[in-house]
Structure formats: structure tokens, C-alpha cells
Structure 1
Amino acid sequence: MRRHLPLSLLLLLGAGAAGAQPAAPRGEAEALVAAERLAQAMVRLAALRSDDHLLDLGTAEGRVPVAAALAGARATGVETEPELLNRARRRAAEARVADKVEFREEDILRTRLTGASVVVMHLPAESQEQLRPALLRLAPGTRVISDIDGLPGWPPEQTQTVELPDRSLGRLRSQRLYLWRVPAPVDGAWCAPGGLQLAFRQSMRDYRATLGRGDAVAAQWRGRIEGASLPPPAVGRLRPWLIWSDGQLLVRRGIPGLPDGIRLTRRPAAGCTA
């Protein structure tokens, strides 16, 4: 079994091949240290699992994919510059994770995102906005990480400030990172057994729900989607806890009329049947 090295060793590994090379100018060395520090912070923010596949858009020298592989996940880096990709592949080989990392030369904005459970972007805001439709088609719960808050109208779930004390004077000594999770697409009407209907009005993570039968309303509430999970409000009356599952909504914790374990399906054109 491969033993995964702690992320704290990444900086040493990244510098391993440089030991026999002339020392980099001070400003360049500081930039490399900052880049390593940011790569490690992004991987920690992603909270990677062994079954994750991280896709790094604009990977440059491959620091984030290598860090992800050292943390136990699979990773793919996408870049447009062949020389940067050559450096990335050397980095993966030196870290002994070349079997877990792939690097591709592609147009970043045309890269297929399907299959990634984590997407890291090193892109300007306008490019992030171009990718938004494709990001929102990914599986609910997919994590999206960037160092730019470039998705207006989609508030990040988490932010983190990374201190960069090694940067030279006159440059920012910290960098903000942003984490989003793709929300389950629940907008519209859903059918439950017994003729009950659950209707959602969704705005990214936020939703309003109405449960009823015909014109009779049994319950209404507001909530916030957490990836594939729709937990109930923390206060007020008991409300169901729903989980997105293969295009259906599974009732994890039920209420009268919606018991635990049942599944809701999209309402067909003919409406919900009793």
C-alpha cells in the first residue's frame, strides 16, 4: 500500500530537483514558496477523500494536482503551455505520484468537467463566469475552489485567508480562497406517494418549499441547499430532511405524509397521481 506523504513535505519535494540548480533570484524564490503554500491550502480546503478526482484548470507547474495525489486522491491538470506541462510531469515523477496524476494540453474553457468531484480554477472572473453553466451541471456536492470570487450571484459557502509572509514588500501578504458546492437542482414540482406534491422555488443555494395536495397547502418553509443535502430549518416546526439521489429526492428524515425512506420524483405533465 502506498503511504501518502503529509502535505507539509510538498515544499521539500517541489524543491528536490532544484537542489543541483543555481539558486533562483530572491523574488522568484518567494513566488515559488507562495505558490506551494497556496497549492497546499487549496487541497486542504477541498477536504479530499481517496475516491475524489480533482481537476485543476490552469494548472501551470502542477502543484495542486501533485498535492492532491500526495493526499490520496486522483488528479488531472489542464494547461495550454507545453513547457509548463513538462515541468508538471517532472514534478509528479519526482513526487512519485505520476501514476495518480494526468496532465493535458487543452483549451481550458472547453475542457470536459464531467467526472470531477473537485474543480480548482486559476482563472480570471470572466472565464469563471463562462464556466458557470458547466459547473452547475456537475453532480450536486461537487466542490469548486478558486482564488477569485468570480461567480456573482452564487455566494461561496466558505472562504479562507492564506497568509503569505514570504512575499516581497509591495506585494499582497495574504490571499483569499473561495469554496462553492454545486447545489442540487430541485426547482420545480415533485410527486410523493399518496398524491402529495412538493414544489420548490430555487435561487442557487436558497429555496422556498410548499407541500400540499391539490390546492391545499400542508406546510411551507425556506431552507438552504448544502450540495446534495436539503437539511430542514434549524428552528420552527418539524420539516423533512431531503437528499438528492440519482435525480430523485430521498426523505432522510420525514414528517407526517412524508415518512423516512420514501422517494420523490419530478412531476410529470399529467400531474401527481394519488
Structure 2
Amino acid sequence: MTVIRTLASKVTIACAVSALSLNVAFAQSPQAPMQMAQAAAPAANKAFEPVSGQAGKDVVWVPTQQELVDRMLAMANVTKDDYVIDLGSGDGRTVITAARLGARAHGIEFNPDMVKLSQDAAKREGVTERASFEKADIFQSDFSKASVVTMFLLPQLNIKLRPTLLDMKPGTRIISNTFDMDDWHPDESLVLSTDCASFCRAYKWIIPAKVAGDWRVGGDELQLTQTYQMLSGTLTRGGKKLPISEAKMIGTQITFTVDGKRYTGEVGGGKMTGTAEGAGAWTAERSST
């Protein structure tokens, strides 16, 4: 038994010394770093693949199905004359689809891997002249030049963006996937009716011109109160205050009814010009805000 134990100990020591010698020799070999790098290369070179539900800076990422992307851009009436900005552009499909329609389109995305993924997709689609992406925080970005803004954010983020959106150029179209803007009711909405289990709705707002205040309409006085695109107020004529009804802004277009007549007009430069049913043309100039 003692001999066997002694032999076993010697064999164990010999194996350990041999293994140590091989490890030292491998480490000292000039090919060792290259061999180690080659072994790690497959993991390092693996293409990034986004996963639905993956965490992001402000929201988790969930891809918008292509049918809804198409319907959202159609609802915005996107043409080659538009500049579309997607807030939180994810895998880039909204930007790329807008570019296919001929529009200039830009995606703002915080995840650099998603930005690279989107850029590669734009190259494959041949739309890099019209589609661009940047790694940035949407709350620190200037998107004021957009004529169309798209987004798929949570309600509290929409509310946080609301003051910035309302300061954009009147007529700018805002399209939101699934989530609304609380008491700022949309001008239009849609729901996918087939093969859609979740995230099937879209909302549209048109940024209204700001018209609250006093306006002089010939010898009459028009007083307007504004809440988002909705208006209320009175028209004072001959010392009598007449309430206005069905009053609304759609971009720079104003409509209201007073004394049984429907007024429509365009707002710009401190003036309103339009027509009234049965009363012909009318104009108004701002007297106070």
C-alpha cells in the first residue's frame, strides 16, 4: 500500500509539472495571443439582434408592426416634401418607411446598437440619402424643424413632451402609436382591425396656431379662449355679446359658428382671412393676446 501511494504521488506530481510546463510554453509562444483572440472572435463579431421587451433609457423596445407604420404615415399624409422625425426610432422601420415614400426622415435613438442596426438597414434598403439616425436623448434634442413627428412612448413621456410639441410650427402633424396625450384629445385616430393582438391604435394631432385673445372683425370684437385646438368665446356686435360654438383650430385653419353663420379662415401674421356662410369674406386683426 505504501509503494502504491508513493507511485501515485509521483505520477500526480509528474502530471502537474507537465501541465505547468505546457501552460508556460503556450503563454510564452508568440502565437498564443492570436490563438486566444481567434477563440474569442466569434462572440465579439456576433451581430446585434434586438429583442422585443429589451430595456431602454425611457421605455422598453417593442417593434411596431409594419401595417401600423404604414397606416400612421398615411394618416400623417407624408409626402416627399415632409421632414419626418421619429422620437425613439428603435430598429428604424418608421424612418426607413418614410424615406421610401420620398420624405426626408431622421431617427433619434439612445441605444447605439439600435442606431447601427438602423443605419445598416437603411443601406440595405437604399435610402441613406433620405434616412438618417443619431444616438441622442429625445428630451435633449431639437426636432423643431420636423413637419411630422412620430413616436411610440409611454403616456407620461408624451405629457412631458407636450409643451415642446405645442410650440412647434402650426400644421405640424404628431402621430403616436398606442398612447394618447391625456386631456389633449387627438384630431384623428385609427385601430387596426385584423391580425393585431396588441399596440393596434394610432393617434394624430395637428399643432394648432395660437389664437387666444382679442381680435377686431371690422367693427366687431372677437374674444377667444383656447385649450389646445378647441376654442370658445364671444363676438361682440352692436354692444351685444354673441357666443361662438363649434369652434376649433386645425393647424392654421379656424372654424366657428356665430349668430347662425359658419365662419372659416386662415390664421397668420396676426391676421385672419376667410369667408362666412351667407356673409361673404371676413378679416380680423389681433388687438391683444
Specify if TM > 0.5. Answer: yes
What is the letter of the counterpart of residue 253 of structure 1? T
Describe the shift of the 1:77–1:208 C-alpha distance in structure 2 as closer, same or farther (beyond 3 A): same
- Residue pair 1:113, 1:135 contacting (<8 A) in 2 also: no
Question: Secondary structure of the equivalent of 2:145?
Answer: coil
Q: Check conservation: 1:251, 1:259, Cα contact below 8 A.
A: no
Distance 1:207 1:147 in 2: 26
Partner of 1:241: 264
Q: 1:205 aligns with which of 229, 233, 241?
A: 229
Q: Structure 1 residues 174, 60: CA separation in 2 closer, same or farther (over 3 Å shift)?
A: closer
> Partner letter of residue 260 of structure 1?
A
Partner of 1:265: 285
In 2, Cα distance between equivalents of 1:232 and 1:128: 29
Cα distance change on mapping 1:268 and 1:85 into 2, 3 Å: same
CA distance in 2 between partners of 1:160 and 1:268 (Å): 38
Q: Following superposition of structure 1 onto structure 2, how do residues 116-265 of structure 1 map, counting pairs within 5 Å? A: 116-163=146-193, 165=195, 172=197, 175-192=200-217, 194-212=218-236, 216-217=239-240, 219-222=242-245, 223-233=247-257, 237-245=260-268, 247-254=269-276, 260=281, 262=283, 264-265=284-285
Percent identity of equivalent pairs: 27
> Within 1, Cα distance between the matches of 2:64 and 2:229?
33
Give the equivalent residue in structure 2 for 1:60. Answer: 90
Residue 88 of structure 1, aligned match among 97, 118, 131: 118
Structure 2 CA distance for partners of 1:52 and 1:150, relative to 1, 3 Å: same
Bigger Cα displacement from structure 2, 182-191 vs 32-41: 32-41
Q: Closer, same or farther in 2 for the Cα pair 1:179/1:70, shift >3 Å?
A: same
Contact 2:267 2:273 in 1 (8 A): no
What amino acid maps onto 1:266 in structure 2?
A: R
The structural deviation recorded for 1:113 is 2.4
AA at the equivalent of 2:261: L
Q: 1:195: Cα distance to partner?
A: 4.6
Amino acid at match of 1:117: S
Q: Which runs of 5+ in 2 are unaligned?
A: 1-46, 54-60
Higher-Rg member (1/2): 2
Q: 1:32–1:136: structure 2 CA closer, same or farther, 3 Å change rule?
A: closer
Secondary structure of the residue aligned to 2:128 is coil
Letter in 2 for 1:84: M
Give the TM-score, by structure 1 length: 0.74
Match of residue 100, structure 1, among 130, 155, 176: 130
